[in-house]
Amino acid sequence: METFKIPEKMKAMTLTAYDKLAMAEVPVPKPGPGEVLCRIKSVAICGSDPKMIHGGYSFANWPPYYPFIMGHEWSGQVVALGDGVKDFVPGDRVAGEAHVGCGKCDNCKKGHYTVCLNYGKDGKDGGLDMGHRHYGFYWQGANAEYNVYKTSSLHKIPDNVSYDVASMCDCAGVAFHGVELAGVTPGGTSVVIGPGAIGLSAMMECKALGSSQVIMIGRGSKLEKARELGADVCIDFEKEDPVKRVLELTGGIGADEVMECSGAMDSPMKACKMVRKTGSVAIIATYHNDEVLIPANTVNFNEIHITGSKANPNVSEQVLKFFSSGAIDGEKLITHRFPLEDYAKAVELFENKKGGSLKVVINP
C-alpha cells in the first residue's frame, strides 16, 4: 500500500462573492468514516461554472456560503482513507461524480440519487444532516489540490485513460444518462442538437449503442468537430431548416430519438417536430428560464415520449469503459489546459468560446 505525505495546507481557488475569484491557502480536509482524501489531478470546466460565478443559480442557493470552492468534473488519486473504507486504497486513480444521495429516501433507494428527496439538508444552519452531497455546488468542490469524497461517488479509472480524459466522466455521463433514458434504436436514426462537449459525447454514445445514422445539428467549428468525430450528417441550422432536413433524411418519418443538448429556447419544439411517431426526446440541456414551448398536440397525437434528464446517475462505469475502448474519443474533446492559478483566464476563454475552446481542463 502506498503512503503519501499530506500537507497541512493547500491551494484552492475560491469564489468569495459573485464575480469574485481568489486563490487562497486553506486547510487540507480530513476524511471521515466512509470517505477518502483525494489529490486532485484534473478538473474540467462545465457550462454551469461561469453561470454559478455570475450568480445565475442564486435561486438554488448555489453557492450556499462564501468563500466557496467550486469544481465538480474531476479526477484524481486516493491518498488517505477514512474509517471503514475497504474498497479503495491509497494510490487508486479515480473519477468522481458530483452527486451522492442520502441513500435513505425513496428516490435514492430506486437509484435516482441525483434527484434525492433530501437534497440540501446538509446540517448547516442547525438543520438535520441527511447525508446528501452535491460537490462543487452545495458542498466543497475540486478546484483545489485536495478534497474529501464519499466512496460511493468514486470510480476507478482504467489504466489507459488519462486523468484529463477521466475528468470528463461527469460530462459524458450527463450525456449518457439522457441517451439511456431516450433509448437508442439499433439500426435507427438518432439526432443530437448542440455539438458542445455533452452533445458530442451523446453523438459518440449513440453510435456505440448501434444507431446507424447519427445526425448532429449545430453551427461553426463545433459542428466541424462533430464531423471529425464521426457524425454521419451535420446540419447547420443557420443555413437550412433542421426539421425539414431531418424529415428528408428519414423519408418523412422522423428520427427514432432526439437528444436536446443545446439549451436553445426553441430546440425542444424542433425536437418534437423532427422525431417520429412514438419516438423519444431527451431534454439533457438546461435553459435560461422555464418558458420553453413544446407542441402539445404533436406530442399527444404522435405519442412522443419526452424525458427530463438530470446529471449522471449509475453510468460512470460504462462511460469510463467508453473512454478506455475509444468509443468516446476524450482527447479530441479537450482543447485547452491551465494551472489552477489561471482559473479565471480559463473560465473567460471557455465562456466566450475563444480559440475554438470546447473542453477546458484545470490541472491543480
Residue 252 main-chain phi, psi, to 5 deg: 85, -5
- pLDDT number for residue 130: 65
> Average pLDDT, stretch 131-160?
95
Bridge partners (DSSP) of residue 36 are 81, 149
Query: Mind listing the pLDDT tens digit for each residue in 269-280?
Result: 999 999 999 999
Q: Indicate the pLDDT class of residue 126, thresholds 50, 70 and 90.
A: very low
- Supply the DSSP symbol for 28: P
Residue 237 main-chain phi, psi, to 5 deg: -70, -15
Rg (CA), the chain: 21
> Is the pLDDT score of 44 beyond 60?
yes
C-alpha cell at 355: 480559440
User: From residue 364, how far is each of 66, 86, 163, 180, 268 by CA, in Å?
Assistant: 21, 27, 12, 33, 38
> Average pLDDT, stretch 236-241?
98
Nearest to 53 by CA among 304, 347, 329: 347
> Average pLDDT, stretch 149-168?
98
| DSSP codes, 266-308 | THHHHHHHHEEEEEEEEE-S--SSS-----HHHHHHTT-EEEE
Class of domain 175-308: alpha beta
Class of domain 9-171+313-363: alpha beta
Q: Indicate the pLDDT class of residue 124, thresholds 50, 70 and 90.
A: low
> Burial level of 63, CB count in 10 A (0-12/13-18/19+)?
buried
Count of H-run helices and E-run strands, the chain: 11, 18
Mean pLDDT computed over every residue of the chain: 95
Please check whether residue 173 is in contact with residue 202, taking contact to mean a CB–CB distance below 8 angstroms: no
C-alpha cell at 267: 430546440
Contact residues for 342 (Cβ-Cβ < 8 A; gap 6+) = none
The whole-angstrom separation of Cα 256 and Cα 93 is: 38
* Share above pLDDT 70 across residues of the chain, in percent, rounded to a whole number: 98
Please check whether residue 66 is in contact with residue 124, taking contact to mean a CB–CB distance below 8 angstroms: no
Domain boundaries, the chain: 9-171+313-363, 175-308
